[in-house]
Chains A and B, each alone.
Chain A
Amino acid sequence: MRILYVEDDPRSAAAVGDILAQSGDVLVWEDNGSAALLRAGLENFDVIILDRMLGDIDGLTITRRLREGGIGTPILILSALGRSSDRADGLDTGADDYLAKPFEPAELVARLKALHRRATGREHSAVILYGAFECHVKARTAFRDNRHLALSPKEFELFRYFMENAGEVVTREMLLRQVWKMDFDPQTNVVDVNIGRLRRKLEDGFARPALETILGSGYRLLDGMP
C-alpha cells in the first residue's frame, strides 16, 4: 500500500513509519496541511492517515476539502482526540475510520488493510467464500464444509464481518464499532464472550480451529480447511 501520513509531530510520524515498514507499505510523510492537500490531489495513495491538530489546517478541514474536491481516497484519522464525540465528528466530516492515540500497532495495520480492502471493492457480494466457509449475505445463512451453521442474527453479523475480513486481524474495537455500533470498550468482557460463543458454533464437530485469538490485538478467521 502507498500511504500518505499527515502529522506535525516527528516522533509520532517515526513510530507509524516503523509499524508500516514491517508490513511492507510505503509511507509518505507530510508535516503540514497545505502540503498534504496539494500532494493528495497530485499523487495516488491507497489510504490517507490524518492527524487532527496540525499547525496550519486541521485534519477535519483537510478531510472536508478533499471530499468536496472529489478525492475519495480512504481517510483514517489518527488523533489524540479520542472521545466518542470526537470520533463522530471525524466520521461525519467524511473520514472512513478513526483511531485514537495511543493505539495498538496491530490495530492500525488491521484498520488500514480493512480500509484498503473496502476501497478496492472486495465486498458486498451475495456470497462470500473463504476456505471451508460460505456466507450467504442475502439469505443470512452460514456453512462450513457444506454443513449449515445455526447462528443467531447477531452471530451471523459477526461471522459476516469476519468473512469480509477473512484471513486478516480483526480487532476488538473494530468489532464493537461495526457489529455493536459502540465506539468505546465496555468494562465487561462482552466481545470475548460473544466471540467464544461464535467460535464454538464454528468449530463444533470439526477437527480444525476456525478462529484464532491474537494476543493484544484481536482475532483472525482461519480457512478451516481439513
Chain B
Amino acid sequence: MNEARRSIFSRLVAGAILLSLVLLAGLWWLTHQTVSTSLQEAAQTEVDVDLAGLADIYATGGQAELEARIADRVALTPVEGSASHYLLADSRGTVIAGDLPRWPALDPMVSESGVIAIGKNSQGFARAVQLGPDLKLVVARSMAIRAPVLSSLTMAFALGGAVFVALVALLGRLAALGLQRRIERINLAFREPQDGSGLVATRRSSAGDEIDELTAHSAAALARMNDLLAAYKDTSEQLAHEIRTPLSHLDNRLVKALAEKPDAQIAERLAEARAEIRRIVQTLESLLDIAASKAHRGDRSGLAPVDLSALVTGICDLYSGSAEESGLELRWNVAPDVTIDGDERQLRRLVTNMLDNALKYVPSGGSITVTLEPGPVFVVADDGPGIDPRDRERIFERFYRGRNKGEEVSGSGLGLALAHAIAERHGLALTLEEPAAGGLGGAVFRIAAAA
C-alpha cells in the first residue's frame, strides 16, 4: 500500500478520477438547472396563454361565461402530470369557480407569478390577475412532471458517470502500470548497477518516446560507469602487482644480505631499507584505498549493518594502553547500540586513523575524548596544539601535513585523507569543527551524516 502511495502513477490515476468526478458533478448540475428552468418556462408560457384566453372570454362573455369555461376546463381529463388548475374569486378571496381550494399568496394587482403548492405533494407555476374591481383569477399549471424528469436525469448521470469513472480508472491504471513498469526497470538497473546489461536488452516500445530515450541514456550511463569501475579495478590491480612484485624481489635480496650476518652498521642500513619498502607499499595501498572509496561514493551495495558502538569501544580499548604510555588521557563515551550500514573493515580503518592522528599530534599530558552518539555522530576531540587556521582547508588533502607538528611526528600524510574518503563512501562527512572561542584550543574532528 505504501508502495502504491509513493508512486507518481497512482497519484496521477487518483487525480484523473477526482477530476472526472468533479467534471461530471458540474455537468450534472448545469443540465439539472437547464432542464428545471425550461420546464418552468414552458409552464409559464402555457399559463400566460391560458390566462390571456380566459381574460378574453371575460371581456367578451362576462363573468358567467368565464365561470362556465373554467368549469369546462377543470372537468377535462388532464394530460398526465401537466394538469391546469384555476381559481376565480372575489376581492375578499371567496371562491367563485375553479378547483384550487384557496387563494395563493400572489398579488393580482401586479399580475404576480410564482411557484405555489397544488394539493399535498405537487407544485405548480401560477399567475394571478385582477379581472375587475371585485374579481380576480389565478391559473396554475402543475409541474409534477418536473420531479420524475429530473430524477431520471440524475439517475442517467449517476449510471453513466459510474461507467465513465470506472473506465478512466481502468485505462489510467493500465497506462500507469505500463509506465511504472518501464520506469521501474530503469530504477532497478540503477539499484543493481553491476547488472546494468539488462537495461540494454530491454525491448524498445514502438513509440520511441521520452521514456525510451531515458532508458537508452540510463543504459549508456550504467555501461560507462561499469566500464570505468572495471578499468579502475584492473589498473589498480596491475599497479599494485607491478610495483609490489619488484619491491618483493628487492626485499628478498635484502633478507638474503641480512642472512649473511653483516656487521651491525650495515645490518641497520639494510633493515632501514626494508622499512622503506614497507612504507612505499603502505602509501600505495592507502592511495588505492582512497581511490576505491571515492569510486564507490554513494554506492550502497555491499554495505551491511555494523555495530559501531562495539567497534569504537573495542578500538578505544586497544588504544588505551598506548595512550597511557604516551602520557595521554584517553576517554570514551560510547552510546549503546549505535549502528550504521557500512563496510566493517573500512569503518575500523576510519576510527583507527582518527585515533592514530590524535595520538600522534597531542603531546604528553594532554587528553583525547572520543564520543559516539546515535545518528551516528562520532567526535574525536583533543586539547593538543590544534590545527593552524591556514591548514584547516587542506588538512584532508592527500600528502598535506599540518604546521603544528612536533619534530618526531612521522607518517604518510594519507591517514586523514583516507578517513575522509571512507566517511564519504558511507554518506558521512568528516569535518574539523571551529575551535570554541576562549577554549583550550585543540582539534575537534566530527563525523556525522553529510548535510
Contact = CB atoms under 8 A, between A and B. Distances in A.
Interface string A102-146: 110100000000000000000000000000000000000000000
B145 interface: no
B113 to A, nearest CB: 94
B20 interface: no
A147 interface: no
Interface in B218-256: 237, 240-241, 244-245, 247-252, 255-256
A184 interface: yes
A84 interface: yes
Given A12-B245, A84-B349, A190-B322, A102 B277 contact: yes
Given A180-B314, A182-B348, A190-B321, A12 B249 contact: yes
Contact of B285 (A18, A53, A83): A83
Interface stretch (B10-18, B64-72, B352-360, B375-383): B352-360
A188 B317 contact: no
B240 A188 contact: no
Given A190-B321, A197-B321, A81 B355 contact: no
A128 B288 CA distance: 42
B356 A187 contact: yes
B212 interface: no
B411 interface: yes
A207 interface: no
A80 interface: yes
Contacts, number: 92
A102 B247 contact: yes
B285 A82 contact: yes
B345 A187 contact: no
B355 A188 contact: yes
Interface residues of A, number: 34
A154 B244 CA distance: 34
A200 to B, nearest CB: 11
Contacts of B278: 102
B240 A80 contact: yes
Contacts of A11: 249, 252
Contact of A82 (B244, B251, B252, B255): B244
Contacts of A9: 245
Interface string A148-191: 00000010000000000000000000000000111110111110
B361 to A, nearest CB: 12
A85 interface: yes
A26 interface: no
A9 B246 CA distance: 11
Contact of A80 (B245, B277, B356): B245
Nearest to A196: B321
A100 B318 contact: no
B240 A83 contact: yes
24 contacts: A9-B245, A12-B249, A53-B237, A80-B241, A80-B248, A81-B240, A81-B241, A83-B240, A83-B289, A84-B346, A85-B345, A101-B244, A101-B245, A101-B248, A102-B252, A102-B278, A102-B281, A180-B318, A186-B352, A188-B319, A190-B319, A193-B321, A194-B318, A194-B321
Interface of A: 9, 11-12, 15, 18, 53, 80-85, 88, 100-103, 105, 154, 180-184, 186-190, 193-194, 196-197, 216
Interface of B: 237, 240-241, 244-245, 247-252, 255-256, 271, 277-278, 281, 285, 288-289, 292, 314, 317-319, 321-322, 325, 344-346, 348-349, 352, 355-356, 359-360, 411, 415
Lowest 4 A-B CB distances belong to which pairs? A102-B251, A80-B244, A102-B248, A101-B248
Given A82-B281, A182-B348, A216-B271, 17 more contacts: A12-B245, A12-B248, A84-B346, A84-B349, A85-B292, A102-B247, A102-B248, A154-B317, A180-B314, A181-B344, A181-B348, A186-B355, A186-B356, A188-B355, A188-B360, A193-B322, A194-B318
